[in-house]
């Protein structure tokens, strides 16, 4: 059965930030539909899809918007159906918002901007061949709190963020705080763009741009692992 992926695109300024386009090169032969949730586009019925991907966003998970409700409801329905879910950055935080509640989300002190080294704490089918440490691009001002309630498991952390990769028990539901979909050149362009537009943390952006960057390009492997995960039915709530 061919994978059919629904991407919930959480971009606010779609002419500048195009996260769904960043993920597309890794999706290979999967059929893909994209819905921009902040703009009010209707989220289709999940029965047509095998996988769900949640993108990053310029908004803060700690400043709830009306559209959070519809996205959170879709996540809970996908979890109930056993549909595999992958969330990145804001999408990672939205997973916790939907499945465990907003009380498990906090500001990042300090924000994590640039390239981080992630320590693998537990290997599963998503991370079984990831390098340790895993070097990847990060850009976030919020994060999920630690420790997380059950059944969340922390699979990887950085020096600043203790819950960088998480999984919802043994279900095929993963959150990644980083942006593995952004290769080095695009990540640098991302920083330049936000340096031009940012009204906060300009010094941190400049510092991140000046630091040596190192990346392990494993997004294709992560997406392959995700797309080969199968739906599982659950009777329990969540």
Active site members: 89, 179, 181
Alpha-carbon distances, residue 2 vs 15, 28, 44, 222 (angstroms):
31, 11, 18, 18
| Nearest Cα residue to 105 out of 117, 91, 118 | 91
Q: Is 135 helix (H, G, I), strand (E, B) or coil?
A: strand
Location of structure tokens 């916790």: 96
The residues near 113 (Cβ < 8 Å, ≥ 6 apart) are 138, 139, 140, 191, 201, 204, 205, 207, 208
Tokens of 49: 């899809």
> How deeply is 14 buried, as exposed, middle or buried, from its count of CB atoms within 10 A (0-12, 13-18, 19+)?
middle
Backbone angles phi, psi at 119, to 5 degrees: -90, 125
State the DSSP code for 133: S
């Amino acid at each position: 059965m061919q994978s059919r992926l629904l991407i919930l695109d959480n971009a606010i300024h779609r002419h500048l930030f195009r996260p769904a386009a960043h993920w597309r090169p890794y999706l290979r032969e999967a059929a893909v539909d994209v819905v921009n949730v902040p703009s009010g586009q209707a989220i289709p019925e999940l029965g047509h899809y095998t996988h769900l991907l949640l993108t990053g966003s310029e908004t803060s998970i700690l400043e709830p918007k009306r559209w959070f409700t519809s996205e959170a409801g879709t996540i809970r329905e996908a979890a109930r159906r056993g549909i595999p879910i992958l969330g990145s950055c804001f999408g990672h935080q939205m997973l916790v918002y939907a499945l465990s509640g907003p009380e498990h989300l906090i500001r990042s002190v300090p924000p994590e901007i640039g390239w981080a080294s992630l320590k693998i704490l537990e290997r599963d089918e998503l991370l079984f061949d990831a390098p340790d440490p895993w070097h990847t691009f990060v850009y976030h001002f919020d994060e999920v709190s630690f420790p997380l309630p059950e059944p969340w498991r922390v699979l990887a952390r950085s020096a600043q963020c203790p819950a960088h990769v998480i999984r919802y028990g043994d279900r095929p539901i993963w959150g990644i705080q980083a942006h593995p979909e952004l290769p080095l050149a695009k990540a640098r362009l991302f920083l330049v763009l936000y340096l031009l537009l940012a009204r906060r943390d300009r010094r941190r952006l400049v510092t991140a741009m000046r630091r040596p960057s190192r990346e392990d390009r494993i997004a294709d492997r992560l997406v392959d692992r995700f797309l080969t995960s199968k739906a599982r039915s659950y009777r329990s709530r969540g």
